[in-house]
Structure 1
Amino acid sequence: MENSTMKHLFQRHPLRSALTTGALLTAAAALSLNAQAEHPDAVQNLVDRGIEISETYPAPGGMTGYVGEMQGSPIAFYLTSDGEHVILGPMLSATGENLTEHKIQTLVMGPKHAKAWEKLENSHWLLDGDPSAPTVVYTFTDPNCPYCHRFSEAARPWVDAGQVQLRHVLVGILKADSLPKAATILDADNPQQALLANQEQYGGGGIDVDTAAVDRQREKVEQNTRMMRSLGLHATPSTYYRDADGQVRMQQGMPRPAELQKVMGSVSP
């Protein structure tokens, strides 16, 4: 009888029904958000200081692990079992294994870099190498960057062997003529050859600027630069690659020899 009466009331007042349902859904959503926002005081203190929590997980010793970011940098901490204290930093096992690093990579940096990879695929990149090469590497490149030049030279054995396709995302951040040079390279009949020419002529100032090309390609370079900034990167080269497990990783600066092999996916040909 009661269900019948309620149904009758809603049929007589459809607007009231919609408003009531909407109010209930809004209240439920608010309760859900409040529940998500609640943290123990020790954790909330860190949140109030600017830490953005990405994930939590059960940690050894009855603790709760937290991973997230602060000002674009990854951070990890642990809430003690009594819920009253937090411990900042990595956790090591009895054998010295860093138990925190893997969590940061899989729960924070991995997803973050995977999103960056999608943006890079749709950016205005320039190919150096065979487009069918099995290993794809994206690198932010400024035409005036000496370390970008060195990185391209170091990657040459893999590129020439057809193992790596190096996708340069040209930006203009270092000097006043960085953007004009990047635009000139992008606008060339053979951009790959123009990029190599700029690298070969680096000691003498690089490629000559084509002012008409700058007008045509300026927006593409500016879009690449804005994307780089949005990813929290401020230096070139900044390079994205996939590791042996297929996880997207990022290397800032000129890689050391051991790091270079990881970026290229193999030892030098």
Structure 2
Amino acid sequence: MPFIRHLLTLSLGAALLPVTALHAEELPAPIRKIEAKGAKIIGSFDAPSGLKGYAAQYQNRGMTLYLTADGQHVLLGNLYDADGKDLSAEPLQKLVYAPMSKEVWAKMEASNWIADGSKDAPRTVYLFSDPNCPYCNMFWEQARPWVNAGKVQLRHIMVGIIREDSPGKSAALLAAKDPQKTLAEHEKAGKSSTLKPLAKIPAAIQAKLDANMKLMEELELSATPAIFYLDDKGELQQQQGAPSPDKLLKILGPK
């Protein structure tokens, strides 16, 4: 499951030590053994009962390690107190998921997208979009009031996964003289769209499609639309498929 779906918002208050300070001291041998297996140790934090907590990243997922008081053993997993509160959640959010979220947002910002709406819109929403995706078209329709009012700019990261001609159609959109206008005409027409796939995709456009697909695979996404937005706390959230009306307000904000 992609790490985005594990984003946590809790109020614990553990003392956290960032990775820069962490590596100023030598990692204990048991923690180094875990690191050698492929885990990236991000930082450390205080834990109860003589334990020392470490936040780690492994294959786009966060995990917590707890070094025992004797410094010889490591426990892997979440730690809960007597009230059932997850004491691992906030360290993972602050040390692992928040930085990863910023990195993902920056990658989407640098991807090959087509703007839909004003560049001055106060809210930006990214979505991986296929020209043959009916749910992408549904979300496009849902978002019209916000986009037309200048409140939201959608950024369509074009991919081609649904039909055989999907890559060619995405290429046609990216290669259009006015991609924003061409995309709007295609989405507005819906099933009646006359968008033609490129018979031969130029190398430069193919490179853009390949980069978008690589990013989609990195995020472990398998369907469109995959929608990404920042919530009211500035934390990255994901929506798979056309959203329900209440979810739409969370993604796009108040009308």
Deviations 1:84-140 (A, max 9, x none): 444433334555444433322221122122123223223221111122110112222
**Structure-2 change in CA distance of 1:95 and 1:176 (3 Å):** same
Aligned partner of 1:246 among 212, 234, 245: 234
- 2:33 matches 1:39: no
2: distance between equivalents of 1:74 and 1:145?
Answer: 32
Aligned partner of 2:101 among 113, 126, 144: 113
**Structure-2 change in CA distance of 1:132 and 1:33 (3 Å):** closer
- CA drift at 1:232: 4.9
Aligned partner of 1:181 among 165, 169, 174: 169
Deviations 1:141-198 (A, max 9, x none): 2223344333333333322332111111112234332211111112334423332343
| Percentage identity across paired residues of the two chains | 37
Which structure has more relative contact order (CA 8 Å, sep 6+)? It is 2
Deviations 1:226-247 (A, max 9, x none): 3333455444333332232334
| Secondary structure of the corresponding residue to residue 139 of structure 1 | strand
Contact 1:57–1:64, Cα closer than 8 Å, also in 2: yes
Contact 2:28–2:71, Cα closer than 8 Å, also in 1: no
- Counterpart residue number, 2:55: 67
2: distance between equivalents of 1:95 and 1:206?
Answer: 60
**Paired positions, count:** 232
TM-score (norm. length: structure 2): 0.73
Contact 2:42–2:95, Cα closer than 8 Å, also in 1: yes
| Unaligned segments of structure 2, at least 5 residues | 1-21
Which letter maps to 1:102? E
Q: Which 10-residue stretch deviates more, 166-175 or 148-157?
A: 148-157
Which letter maps to 2:227? T
- CA drift at 1:224: 2.3
2: distance between equivalents of 1:146 and 1:98?
Answer: 40
| Secondary structure of the corresponding residue to residue 62 of structure 1 | coil
**Structure-2 change in CA distance of 1:81 and 1:47 (3 Å):** same
Aligned partner of 2:180 among 192, 213, 219: 192
- 2:164 matches 1:164: no
2: distance between equivalents of 1:211 and 1:123?
Answer: 24
2: distance between equivalents of 1:120 and 1:140?
Answer: 10
Q: How does 1:19-168 map to 2 (within 5 A)?
A: 36=26, 38-41=27-30, 43-44=31-32, 46-168=34-156
2: distance between equivalents of 1:33 and 1:76?
Answer: 17
Larger Rg: 1
Which letter maps to 1:56? S
**Structure-2 change in CA distance of 1:181 and 1:79 (3 Å):** same
Contact 1:171–1:221, Cα closer than 8 Å, also in 2: yes
2: distance between equivalents of 1:174 and 1:39?
Answer: 49
Higher helix proportion (structure 1 or 2): 1
1: distance between equivalents of 2:215 and 2:176?
Answer: 23
- CA drift at 1:251: 1.0
Contact 2:231–2:250, Cα closer than 8 Å, also in 1: yes
Contact 1:199–1:206, Cα closer than 8 Å, also in 2: no
| Secondary structure of the corresponding residue to residue 77 of structure 1 | strand
- CA drift at 1:201: 4.8
Q: Which runs of 4+ in 1 moved over 6 A?
A: 32-35
2: distance between equivalents of 1:224 and 1:262?
Answer: 25
Contact 2:126–2:227, Cα closer than 8 Å, also in 1: yes
TM-score (norm. length: structure 1): 0.70
